[in-house]
């Protein structure tokens, strides 16, 4: 119910209070992250911690880190990540902002040469940030060396006014009434703003006092390292958002009753309808699947970071492909699922008090930020095409593409599934996913060799990423899992996750010859049985996410199931209900009614 201005101020207040508590309670970095997570309102601090600090850590020299991170960690400065421009987002190489070195003063001149080069979107830039890592084309000795990162002070640390040459503001209201409107995504134009040479982030490359450009011995892709880090965190966000939506829809489905009353008895819980289960339980399974793959991705990221520290860059391409692919597949699936959960809750799901509209609005942009999902999947396709060609020349693939080394078998194998029960076998499931992914990648590589195209391989990339998710779920179930019967429930969810994908993408599985039509229909039959088996534990499986009512923010998803009184109470809180007769009655309603009454009497 807050206006944009009130909402923004509320975010400032919460962020300041959270920081105060962080200091008072001596919270660790992890605990402070959790505190921000549960505040659950996008704000400038997200960009400060999730992008500004990591960008300096990844791209700054030790000296630069010491100087800037010391201030950033104490919130003496507030930073953002200013990469995207009005005319260029996905294509980072196309950015237009320039950083021209002036050897006479030992400074860079930061400039926005065109309207389209205005920085546009950075969170916190509009009204809050005092500093930013700004991405700009480095020009020295008359040559353009492409995009590099620069630390810039944007606002005075005394009175917060923009520094000379900097025009800065908010880009305006966004989708939904709350959601990202709490964030001051900003626009910024630079008019020949001078910064010292040592504010270029110099871990990847340096400009000497004389203006010479010098490469470091690290790959230039590390410039994109912050995005790899954030994409990894977004997978965990997607799993959390999806589990919230599913928790609301499952709990409500157990309360809501429609039709099916026998002899005057109670109606049927909508969760008992097979159609409801077949729409909802794949999301329940996906929420668990994304959580497990998110945990694995965090491990992969930590591993690649350790390797980078010892100058081993060999796993960087895989880390890029995995973070890009998983960010893309999980956020797209989550946005679609939240929208569907609204429909699964019927009309009440459309009310703000269900919590679903806000959840949808706040998670929808994850399909776009940190890399448009299609653009990122095309990066995965590019990685797969390279791997296929390496396999063809005898190189053994490793990591998530190791299965491609089994090319002889996977290109011609036939699924062993013969009965409904055979679809319980994780090895049989994994084999068809591997065969589908490999065959699609090889087909794509053949098509590209005939008619090269940047856009080929999107579907092959999706198949590969889904294989990763299925594989990581299966691997999770090989670990010890505490709790009586928990593993059995997770096995059922794993089956649902994999088999619903076979159902959804049956065209791919059939056209690549990985399963027959009969095997496809056996998979559907198995799926129906799994839904019925999961039903008795569905509520427990969402209770297990352990969300408080406060965090869930939903009248429909309440733990105690007292849905109707909650909806009723929430309705009365609406400002429209502050008066019995609405504002506007005297000016617009009354004259209309009176006039019509008069006319009818004539
Ligand atoms: C805990 C608290 C909770 C709080 C929650 C916070 C949640 C956080 C969310 C915060 C909210 C919003 C933040 C949003 C921030 C942003 O959106 S920042 C802007 C993001 N922008 C993008 O993502 C742009 C996407 N575009 C790109 O990444 C590149 O332009 C693209 C990769 C598409 C193309 O790069 P190019 O260099 O132009 O071209 P290529 O020829 O394709 O690539 C060259 C080679 O580089 C390899 N590559 C590309 N990217 C990477 C990478 N990231 N890492 C490693 N390697 C990479 C690529 O594979 C090529 O390799 P090859 O030549 O094939 O060997
Ligand atoms: C809420 C939010 C917060 C953000 N925060 C930040 C921030 O803090 N800092 C920052 O720098 N940026 C930020 N961004 C910007 C964000 O990173 C970009 O919007 C994103 O990278 C997508 O780029 P774009 O907007 O240029 O989309 P475009 O690339 O213009 O995409 C438009 C359409 O074209 C398609 N398309 C583009 N290229 C191709 C291709 N090669 N092949 C096929 N189809 C293609 C896309 O799939 C899409 O459908 C934010 C954005 C949002 C929405």
Q: Is residue 406 part of a domain?
A: no
Cβ atoms of 51 and 191 within 8 Å: the answer is no
Q: What is the pLDDT of residue 350?
A: 98
- Count of CB atoms situated within 10 Å of the CB of 111: 20
- Residue 276 in any domain: the answer is yes
Q: Is the CB of 318 under 6 A from ligand 1?
A: no
Task: Report how far apart, in Å, the C-alpha atoms of 141 and of each of 6, 258, 445, 470 are.
Answer: 49, 74, 42, 52
Residue 92 beta carbon below 6 angstroms from any ligand 1 atom: yes
Pair (474, 333) in one structural domain:
yes
Q: Report the SS3 class of residue 79.
A: strand
Q: Taking 90 as the threshold, does the pLDDT of residue 596 lie above it?
A: no
Out of 370, 431, 434, 456, the active site residue is 370
How confident is the model over 361-405, as pLDDT tens digits? 999 999 999 999 999 999 999 999 999 999 999 999 999 999 999
Distance, CA of 371 to CA of 51 (rounded, Å): 14
For 397, which DSSP code? P
Residues 387 and 343 in one domain: yes
User: Is the CB of residue 534 less than 8 Å from the CB of residue 493?
Assistant: yes
Q: What is the CA radius of gyration of the chain?
A: 27
With beta carbons less than 8 A apart as the criterion, state whether 132 and 52 touch.
Answer: yes
Is 57 a domain residue?
yes
Sheet holding 186-190, edge to edge: 119-120, 186-190, 166-170
| pLDDT at site 407 | 96
**pLDDT more than 70, % of the chain:** 100
CATH number of the domain to which 311 belongs: 1.20.140.10
**Beta carbons of 136 and 94 less than 8 angstroms apart:** no
Q: How confident is the model at residue 601 (pLDDT cuts 50, 70, 90)?
A: confident
Residue to mutate (ligand 1; options 58, 379, 386, 458; most atoms within 8 A of CB): 379
| 309 given a catalytic annotation | no
Whether residue 383 sits in one domain with residue 235: yes
Indicate whether residue 107 lines ligand 1 (CB < 6 A).
no
CA of residue 366 to ligand 2 center, whole Å: 10
The DSSP H or E segment spanning 55 is: helix 53-59
Which pLDDT does position 451 carry in this prediction? 77
Q: Which has the closest alpha carbon to 320: 367, 376, 369, 374?
A: 376
Residues 6+ apart with CB under 8 A from 199: 108, 150, 151, 152
Based on the domain organization, do 263 and 118 belong to the same domain?
A: no
CA angle (546 as vertex; 541, 547 as ends), nearest 5: 115
58 is in an annotated binding site: no
Bridge partners of 143, per DSSP, are 140
Q: What is the pLDDT of residues 135-185, one digit of tens each?
A: 999 999 999 999 999 999 999 999 999 999 999 999 999 998 888 999 999
pLDDT at 93: 97
Among 216, 249, 280, which residue terminates a domain?
216
Same domain, 504 and 444: yes
- Predicted confidence at residue 217, as pLDDT, reads 84
On whether both 141 and 245 belong to a single domain, the answer is no
Residue 54 CB–ligand 2 contact under 6 Å: no
Residue length of the chain: 602
- Which of 78, 87, 89 for mutating ligand 2's site (highest number of atoms within 8 Å of CB)? 89
Residues 203 and 233 in one domain: no
Q: Is residue 581 part of a domain?
A: no
Ligand 1 pocket, 368 CB below 6 A? no
Report the candidate in 202, 201, 215, 85 with the shortest Cα–Cα distance to residue 151: 201
φ, ψ of residue 369 to 5 degrees: the values are -70, 160
446 occurs within a structural domain: yes
d(CA 331, CA 337) in angstroms, rounded, equals: 10
| 369 CA → ligand 2 middle, Å | 6
Which residue out of 87, 125, 375, 455 has the highest number of ligand 2 atoms within 8 Å of its CB and is therefore the one to mutate? Answer: 375
Element (H, E) at 29: helix 29-39
DSSP H or E run through 170: strand 166-170
**DSSP per-residue string spanning 107-162:** EEEEE--SGGGSEE--TTTTTT-SEEEEEEEEEETTEEEEEEEEEEE-B-TTT-PB
The residues that bridge with 553 in the sheet, in sequence order, are none
pTM over 0.90: yes
Residue-level pLDDT at 455: 74
93-112 residue pLDDT tens: 999 999 999 999 999 999 99
The Cα angle at residue 267 between residues 263 and 272, in degrees rounded to 5: 125
Residue 562 inside a domain? The answer is no
Q: What is the mean pLDDT of residues 425-452?
A: 94
Q: How far is the CA of 47 from the centre of ligand 2 (A)?
A: 17
233 and 150 within one domain: no
| Domains: count for the chain | 2
Q: Is the CB of 123 under 6 A from ligand 1?
A: yes
Residue 453 has pLDDT above 80, yes or no: no
φ/ψ of 573, rounded to 5, equals -80, -10
pLDDT score recorded for residue 309: 86
* Torsion 541-543-545-549 (CA) sign: positive
Last residue of a domain, one of 161, 195, 216: 216
Angle among Cα 476, 477, 482 to the nearest 5 degrees reads: 100
pLDDT range class, residue 218, cuts 50, 70, 90: confident
Q: Check whether 124 has a pLDDT greater than 90.
A: yes
Residue 386: predicted pLDDT: 95
A 10 A CB-CB count for 190 gives 27
**299 CA distance to ligand 1 centroid (A)?**
19
What is the domain range of residue 445? 225-396+421-541
Query: Which of the ligands is closest to the CA of residue 125?
Result: 2
Does residue 575 form part of some domain?
A: no
CA distance linking residue 155 with residue 82, whole number of Å: 14
- 315 and 184 within one domain: no
Report the percentage of the chain scoring pLDDT > 90. Answer: 93
Ligand 2 near 325 CB (within 6 A): no
Range 441-463 burial, b when 16+ CB lie within 10 A, else e? bbbbbeebeeeeeeebbebbbbb
CATH (domain of 54): 2.40.110.10
123 marked ligand binding residue: yes
User: Domain ends where: 182, 216, 250?
Assistant: 216
* Burial class, 306, CB count within 10 angstroms (exposed 0-12 / middle 13-18 / buried 19+): exposed
Residue nearest to atom 17 of ligand 2 (CA): 369
> Quick check: ipTM above 0.90?
yes
Q: How far is the CA of 574 from the centre of ligand 2 (A)?
A: 36
pLDDT recorded at residue 102: 98
Question: What would the mean pLDDT of 232-252 be, rounded to a whole number?
Answer: 97
Question: Which of 197, 76, 66 is closest to 130 using CA atoms?
Answer: 76
Distance 312 CA to ligand 2 centre (A): 31
* Residue 593, CA distances (Å) to 91, 589, 596 in order: 58, 6, 5
Residue 508 confidence (pLDDT): 96
Pair (172, 254) in one structural domain? no
pLDDT in the model for residue 261: 83
Q: What does the pLDDT average to over 500-522?
A: 97
The position carrying tokens 């860079």 is 108
Q: Which ligand is nearest to the CA of 146?
A: 1
Asked if residue 94 is part of any domain, the answer here is: yes
What are the pLDDT digits (tens) for 535-585? 999 999 999 999 999 999 999 999 999 999 999 999 999 999 999 999 999
pLDDT at 464: 98
Ligand 2 within 6 A of 365 CB? yes
Average pLDDT, the chain: 96
Q: Which atom of ligand 2 is nearest to the CA of 89?
A: 26
User: What angle in degrees, to the nearest 10, is found between the helix axes of 458-476 and 316-344?
Assistant: 90
Mark whether 323 and 240 lie in a shared domain.
yes
Same domain, 276 and 141: no
């Amino acid at each position: 119910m807050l206006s944009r201005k009130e909402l923004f101020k509320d975010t400032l207040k919460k962020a300041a209070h959270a920081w105060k508590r962080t200091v008072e309670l001596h919270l660790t970095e992890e605990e402070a992250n959790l505190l921000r997570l549960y505040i659950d309102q996008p704000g400038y601090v997200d960009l400060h911690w999730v992008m500004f600090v990591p960008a300096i850590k990844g791209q700054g020299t030790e000296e630069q880190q010491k100087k800037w991170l010391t201030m950033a960690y104490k919130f003496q400065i507030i930073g953002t990540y200013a990469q995207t421009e009005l005319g260029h987002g996905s294509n980072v190489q196309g950015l237009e902002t320039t950083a021209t070195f002036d050897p006479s003063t030992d400074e860079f001149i930061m400039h926005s040469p065109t309207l389209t080069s205005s920085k546009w979107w950075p969170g916190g830039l509009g009204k809050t940030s005092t500093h930013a890592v700004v991405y700009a084309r480095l020009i020295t000795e008359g040559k353009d060396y492409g995009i590099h990162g620069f630390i810039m002070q944007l606002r005075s640390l005394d009175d917060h006014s923009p520094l000379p040459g900097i025009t800065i503001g908010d880009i305006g209201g966004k989708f939904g009434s709350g959601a990202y409107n709490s964030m001051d995504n900003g626009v910024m134009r630079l008019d020949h703003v001078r910064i010292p040479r040592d504010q270029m982030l110099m871990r990847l490359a340096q400009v000497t006092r004389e203006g010479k450009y010098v490469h470091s011995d690290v790959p230039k892709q590390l410039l994109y390292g912050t995005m790899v880090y954030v994409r990894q965190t977004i997978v965990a966000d997607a799993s959390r958002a999806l589990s919230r939506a599913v928790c609301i829809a499952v709990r409500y489905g157990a309360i809501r009753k429609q039709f099916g009353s026998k002899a005057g008895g109670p109606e049927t819980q909508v969760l008992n309808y097979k159609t409801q289960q077949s729409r909802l339980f794949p999301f329940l399974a996906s929420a668990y699947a994304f959580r497990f793959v998110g945990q694995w991705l965090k491990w992969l990221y930590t591993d690649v970071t350790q390797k980078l520290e010892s100058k081993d860059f060999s796993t960087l391409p895989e880390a890029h492909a995995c973070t890009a692919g998983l960010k893309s597949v999980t956020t797209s699936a989550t946005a679609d699922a939240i929208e569907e959960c609204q429909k699964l809750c019927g009309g009440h799901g459309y009310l703000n008090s269900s919590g679903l509209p806000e959840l949808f609005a706040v998670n929808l942009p994850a399909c776009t930020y940190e890399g448009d999902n299609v653009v990122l999947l095309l990066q995965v396709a590019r990685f797969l095409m390279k791997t296929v060609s390496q396999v063809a020349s005898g190189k053994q693939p490793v990591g998530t593409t190791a299965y491609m080394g089994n090319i002889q078998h996977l290109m011609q194998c036939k699924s062993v599934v013969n009965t409904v029960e055979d679809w319980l076998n994780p090895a049989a499931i994994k084999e068809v996913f591997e065969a589908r992914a490999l065959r699609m990648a090889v087909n794509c590589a053949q098509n590209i060799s005939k008619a090269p195209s940047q856009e080929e391989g999107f579907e092959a990339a999706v198949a590969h990423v889904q294989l990763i998710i299925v594989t990581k779920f299966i691997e999770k179930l090989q670990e010890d899992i505490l709790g009586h019967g928990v593993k059995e429930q997770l096995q059922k969810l794993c089956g649902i996750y994999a088999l619903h994908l076979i159902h959804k993408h049956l065209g791919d599985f059939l056209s690549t010859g990985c399963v027959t039509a009969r095997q496809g229909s056996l998979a559907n039959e198995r799926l129906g049985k799994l839904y019925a088996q999961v039903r008795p534990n569905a509520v427990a499986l969402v209770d297990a996410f352990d969300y408080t009512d406060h965090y869930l923010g939903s009248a429909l998803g309440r733990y105690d199931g007292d849905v109707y009184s909650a909806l009723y109470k929430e309705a009365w809180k609406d400002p429209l209900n502050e008066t019995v007769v609405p504002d506007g009655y005297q000016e617009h309603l009354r004259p209309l009614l009176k006039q019509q009454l008069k006319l009818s009497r004539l």
